[in-house]
Amino acid sequence: MKEARQLALDFEPLVEHDFTLAECPRWDWRHQFWFWVDIANGELWRYHDNQLAVRRWDEPLGCVAMWQEEGYVLATKSGVYLLTDWNADRQLVAPLVKTHPRIRFNDGRAAPGGHFIAGTRNGAKVGDKGQFYQLAGEDQLAAMPMYAWTCNGLAFSPCGKILYWADTGSRVIYRADYDPATSAYGESEVFADLSAFEGRPDGACVDSLGGYWVAMYAGKSVLRLNAEGEVTHVIPVPADNPTMVALGGEQGNQLVVTSAASGSAAGVVLTASVEWQGIEEPLVTVI
């Protein structure tokens, strides 16, 4: 196994704004802009034509995915909602049935084939662990046997046939077979154990070569792993708590990293250029 390469990038703020828990950055290729959430404040942000805009709700907003030409799917503390366009009122699609009051949706995205998948987090670490759910037809959330106190790191290989997810607490990344045509999936197996690296695996994405990029919360870094689960690059990030990473932009090689506030600094949204290309984020089509 080759030793991981240290890769220094010239990060700069994507926007000049402070956040509490910035997460889930996505490149909206439909209209050419970046959007993300601030989980703790229930906010959906977008940066379009050098202008910031925000939508707010009265509960934590864990993640968001694109739906059709204008809309979004939101996963919150209370359930999954549909936003038909940026200015629309949200519509409940499926409630989240909780066994503990601190369970909420956390990390998620559109799967190849059009299903929406999101995992939950139980911050109390009492009772049931969080787990992933797949939004099936007829507004049903189908539970998936993928459990963690904090479910994270959801991403798909460029071919769409491999699902990755992270157990943040144990610092382990898993992989499972996935069928985009049927939304069926196989058993999870260990893809990588990151306990030798500083921080804990949080949100992730995949590049066009199949590399898995993961933000290391409390590790001030992003790791890139190859398709065999080996860490190829360690990228220092000028933020205490990186939360998620995305690749996109007009040329496909813009790296965006979100972060959460720490005791000494606010959360930020950072960007840098890299030599890798992102893959186009799927749209949710199954509601």
Question: 23: annotated binding-site residue?
Answer: yes
Q: What percent of the chain has pLDDT over 90?
A: 95
What amino acid is encoded at 173 in this protein?
Answer: I
| Per-residue model confidence as pLDDT tens digits over 135-189 | 987 778 999 999 999 999 999 999 999 999 999 999 999 999 999 999 999 999 9
Question: 121: annotated binding-site residue?
Answer: no
Question: Considering the domain boundaries, does residue 281 fall inside one?
Answer: no
Question: CB under 8 Å to 50, separation ≥6 — which residues?
Answer: none
Closest by Cα among 165, 208, 202, 167 to 186: 165
Question: Considering the domain boundaries, does residue 217 fall inside one?
Answer: yes
Question: Considering the domain boundaries, does residue 286 fall inside one?
Answer: no
Residue pair 258/205 in contact (Cβ under 8 Å)? The answer is no
Question: 106: annotated binding-site residue?
Answer: yes
**Mean pLDDT across the chain:** 97
For the question of residue 139 being annotated catalytic, the response is no
| Per-residue model confidence as pLDDT tens digits over 241-270 | 999 999 999 999 999 999 999 998 999 999
Token pair for 17: 């704004």
38, 202, 207, 240: which one is catalytic? 202
- What is the domain count for the chain? 1
Question: 104: annotated binding-site residue?
Answer: yes
The domain that holds 232 is classified in CATH as 2.120.10.30
Question: Considering the domain boundaries, does residue 97 fall inside one?
Answer: yes
| Per-residue model confidence as pLDDT tens digits over 86-115 | 999 999 999 999 889 999 999 999 999 999
Question: Considering the domain boundaries, does residue 60 fall inside one?
Answer: yes
Closest by Cα among 207, 175, 178, 204 to 191: 175
Q: Could you tell me the residue range of the domain that residue 18 belongs to? A: 5-273
Question: Considering the domain boundaries, does residue 285 fall inside one?
Answer: no
Tell me, letter by letter, the H, E, C secondary structure of 124-170. CCCCCCEEEEEEECCCEEEEEEEEECEEEEEEECCCCCEEEEEECCC
